[in-house]
Structure 1
Amino acid sequence: MTDQLFTEDAYLRECSATVVAVEEKGVLLDRTCLYARSGGQPGDSGTMRWADGEAVIAEAIKGEAGAILHGLAPGSATPPVGATVTLTLDWARRHRHMRMHTTLHLLCSILPGIYATGNQIGAEKSRLDVDLAEPPAKEWFTEKLAELVAADHPISTTWITEEELDANPTLVRTLSVQPPRGAGRVRLVRIGTEDAPIDLQPCGGTHVRSTGEIGRVEVTKLESKGRQNRRIHIVLGD
């Protein structure tokens, strides 16, 4: 199992690690600051350096049993097993993913009782699919998001047991992706204060520290993807 440093500090841009194995799909390390592709969020990219070599990390992906594999760009050299490497995150790309992912949580917060049926996060544009027959106009969404961004609500994480999640099933706001199980605990992302959260739901992704960090966001299009499924497209300002 790879120690996933980003779950505790999404702003960690560099870390050292030890090479555990080199597999066809990527390099397995004992720890990493790179998020692995899951839940609609792309895997991080960056660089890996060791004593006599360097490689470009195309994308971090999930392996088996909690492992994270660092997929290298074609033609890259590979470090030897046991080597100490330094990972450097492509921060600009990751930070846009963090802003986008947090915005999708805000969309959930302004649609209480509505479940997400899918999502896709990108650095340039993202989307959220929701189980909603008649959504408000795109301008309404943009206005509501702007209000939440301007309020600069704090964002934090906490952990609960799987049993606590089972006792509070309404915490799960997604129909397509369920929280990972098997580790005995589940990570919650909270937007707002503990006493009065704006949004609280299980999530393993990376997020900004406060809603003000998102900056300008716009809902550009609403799309019908079925009788009740509506797709909300968003873009960010620079």
Structure 2
Amino acid sequence: MNLPATEELFREDSTLLHCEAVVLAQEEGGGLILDRTVAYPLGGGQAGDAGEIRAGSLSWRFSDTRKSKLHPGAILHLIEGEGPTPETRVTVAIDAPRREAHRRFHTATHLLCALLPYPVDGCSITETTARLDFHTDEAFDKAAIESGLRRLVAEARPVRQRWISEDELDANPGLVRSMSVQPPRGLGRVRVIEVEGVDLQPCGGTHVNNTAEIGALVVTKIEKKSAKTRRVVLGFAQVGAAGSGLSPA
């Protein structure tokens, strides 16, 4: 059975938290495929969304969102047991705090790329941490990185998404920072994220609209993973109990 690609509403507006959809199929293992969704599937280092699918008085919790390997372009909402039957009209609602954390952390990694201009050979973005692995043997200064992040967040720089042609990307190969993941090809265009005056690179993830929305960050770890790899892990910061300082959230 050939299924159409899932319409990815999150690509154009990552603030959308729910949408109406129609069930197309359910793969073995619990992957429910809809004609459209606001749920981002695991990819580009960013974790997938979780949430709930509702049909009338019935509801199904989905614990993760993935790309289908059987149906190119289709997105799986991972549920337990049997889901709604094909052609059922449903509402998809994602976990707002999880999405917000992903948006804030993903944009923060773009700021980190601007502060540390080295090739990236690893990335992970979850609800609680963001990690980038940089291909370099240079030592990193934790205080300098945190200071740079505070400055860029406080500058409240606009964050925009736009599309460029594959020819434009080929003419500017330096836009691609990742050593292991290349932008998808074959569509004739590539989505890029621009942090005004700071960073521009291909990216399919979800982001905030302004760096001020990221909030306070801390560098929780700087680690030497190999002779040529330095890992930086970020966390959100919060005012301590006594209101006297910042601590990891």
Q: TM-score scaled to structure 2, two decimals?
A: 0.90
- The SS at the match of 1:165 is helix
Residues 1:22 and 2:38 aligned together: no
Counterpart for residue 13 of structure 1: 17
The residue number in structure 1 matching 2:232 is 232
Give the corresponding residue for 1:151: 155
Name the structure 2 match of 1:222: 222
- CA shift digits 1:146-196 (9 cap, x unpaired): 00000010000000122221121111011021111222211000001xxxx
Q: Does residue 33 of structure 1 match 2:41? A: no
| Residue number in structure 1 paired with 2:173 | 169
Superposition pairs of residues 1-238 of structure 1, within 5 angstroms: 1-25=5-29, 26-63=31-68, 64-72=71-79, 74-75=80-81, 77-112=82-117, 114-192=118-196, 197-237=197-237
Give the CA deviation at 1:52. Answer: 4.7
Gaps of 5+ in 2: 239-249
Unaligned runs of 5+ in 1: none
- Residue number in structure 1 paired with 2:244: none
CA shift digits 1:104-145 (9 cap, x unpaired): 110001123x11110111111121000121133111111100
Aligned residue pairs total: 231
Task: Please identify, of 40-49 and 135-144, the stretch whose mean Cα deviation from structure 2 is larger.
Answer: 135-144
Q: Relative to 1, partners in 2 of residues 1:221 and 1:52: Cα closer, same or farther, differing over 3 Å? A: closer
Q: Which secondary structure does the structure 1 equivalent of 2:127 belong to? A: coil
Distance (Å, rounded) in 2 between the aligned partners of 1:183 and 1:71? 27
- 1:153 maps to amino acid: R
Q: Which amino acid aligns with 1:47?
A: E
Runs of 4+ in 1 over 2 A off after TM superposition: none
Letter in 2 for 1:108: C
Query: What's the CA shift for 1:67?
Result: 1.1
User: In the alignment, residue 32 of structure 2 is paired with which amino acid?
Assistant: V
Q: Distance in 1 between matches of 2:28 and 2:160?
A: 36
CA contact (8 A) 2:140 2:222 kept: no
Cα shift at 1:51? 2.9
What percent identity do the matched residue pairs reach?
45
Q: Which AA in structure 1 matches 2:75?
A: I
- SS at structure 2 position matched to 1:237: strand
Q: Which amino acid aligns with 1:222?
A: I
Provide the C-alpha distance between the structure 1 equivalents of 2:164 and 2:90, rounded to a whole number of angstroms: 33
| TM-score, scaled to structure 1 | 0.94
SS at match of 2:179: coil
